[in-house]
Amino acid sequence: MEFDLNEEQQLFRDSVRRWVDREAPKPWARELEKDEHTFPHALWDKFTAAGFHGIGVAEQYGGQGGDIMTQMILARELARSLAGLTWVWGITSFAGGKSVGLYGTEQQKLRHLPAIAEGREKWAIAFTEPGGGTDLLGAMRTKATKIDGGWVLNGHKTWSSMAHVADYILLLARSDEYTEKRHQGVSLFILPAKSEGVTTCEIPKLGMRSLGSCDVYLDNVFVADENLLGEPNRAWYMLLPTLNNERIMLSSFCVGIMDGVLEDALRFVQDREAFGGPIARFQSLQHHIANILMWRDQAELMVYRAAWLQSRGRPCGQETNMAKVVASELGSRAADLGLQILGGMGYSAETDMQRYWRDARLYRIGPVTNEMARNSIAEGLGLPRSFS
């Protein structure tokens, strides 16, 4: 069995790590988070200059190429410093690069993929609806009505991160109300974010403050036929294969956060002195740090396995769900323990531990709750479905 990255992957990891230390260090990430109503365009521009937006986009469309393993490595290394701000790269990579790359027409690919790779297009995702949460289909009230030349959208989406600065929103809407099953009759649209009738409003939140998460209101919004992604009424069948990619990416963020937590905790106990010497000599703190390391390595192995399976085109639904649950829960525990190690300084905005703690907490909730992921894991073992 092989547990290490290959030489090319190691070189890429090391180059990204050096880039992060030089271009996106932790003190700068803290500064970006202080202004919670200002999107970090400077960070986006640094990603553009580094070519990160092109990772995962095929070379024939101006990208850097790279499979899920490459994306996983990048996500982890960025999150070590940026934590949740890594989504500044990740959302467009998933919403535009992955979805258009898989399901777009050749015309859509030629229009959007080079622009994404060059950092000229920002994307957002609008799937969730008020009162729905994980129950995307059961709660869906946003409707797409077919007319000559396109569709008219009406409804309300929520938790659409970056919608206020996006050029395009990948939007899910019900396009046929008369279906046998509720996963039928939904369609995906490439919605120009500044279309007439689109209104966005930022939602105040605990973490990832400068990223901006929004309510999106749709009032008779016209979308041309050319902006329908894939086949009408079959969006759910398209989305399911992409969920594995999203969960591997999120799990990689969690492993990266644990890298940052461990790094900061080690430095603190070695530098901090109390009761006549460095606190690194205290057994209880050593046990805390050992736990963080073990949790990080457990999550790392599960994420690597899921990414390895997907990169080889093998079934990995169970593995991605398990990696997501384990990485998010251990990442949240590690950040909480890291805050405990730093004591009052961990709670201070002058350190990064509070940022890791705030950002890691979300990953147990979204984009799918760990409870719902556990339902899927159990169902994969042949147990009856616990929800309808």
Number of C-beta neighbours around residue 385 at 10 A = 9
Give burial (CB, 10 Å; 0-12/13-18/19+) of 348.
exposed
Domain that holds residue 51: 7-121
Note whether 192 and 132 are same-domain residues.
yes
- The two structure tokens encoding residue 209: 């403050």
Poorest-confidence range of 174-178, 218-222, 226-230, 256-260?
174-178
pLDDT for res 127 = 94
List, for residues 310-349, the tens digit of each pLDDT value. Answer: 999 999 999 999 999 999 999 999 999 999 999 999 999 9
Note whether 366 and 349 are same-domain residues.
yes
Note whether 323 and 288 are same-domain residues.
yes
- Above 80 in pLDDT, residue 49? yes
Note whether 253 and 315 are same-domain residues.
yes
Q: How many domains does the chain have?
A: 3
- Write the single-letter amino acid at 306: A
In a domain, 387, yes or no: no
Note whether 256 and 364 are same-domain residues.
yes
- Residue 11's pLDDT band, with cuts at 50, 70 and 90, is very high
Summarize the chain as % helix, strand, coil (round to 5): 55, 15, 30
The domain boundary residue, chosen from 76, 97, 121: 121
In a domain, 183, yes or no: yes
Note whether 255 and 353 are same-domain residues.
yes
- Above 90 in pLDDT, residue 139? no
- Residue 386's pLDDT band, with cuts at 50, 70 and 90, is confident
Note whether 264 and 352 are same-domain residues.
yes
- pTM, two decimals, is 0.95
pLDDT for res 259 = 98
Note whether 128 and 63 are same-domain residues.
no
Rounded CA separation 152/133 (Å): 24
- Above 70 in pLDDT, residue 1? no
Average pLDDT over residues 244-267: 96
Average pLDDT over residues 27-49: 92
CB 335 within 8 A of CB 353: yes
Give burial (CB, 10 Å; 0-12/13-18/19+) of 119.
buried
In a domain, 71, yes or no: yes
Say whether 348 sits in a helix, a strand or coil: coil
Give burial (CB, 10 Å; 0-12/13-18/19+) of 1.
exposed
The domain boundary residue, chosen from 189, 213, 231: 231
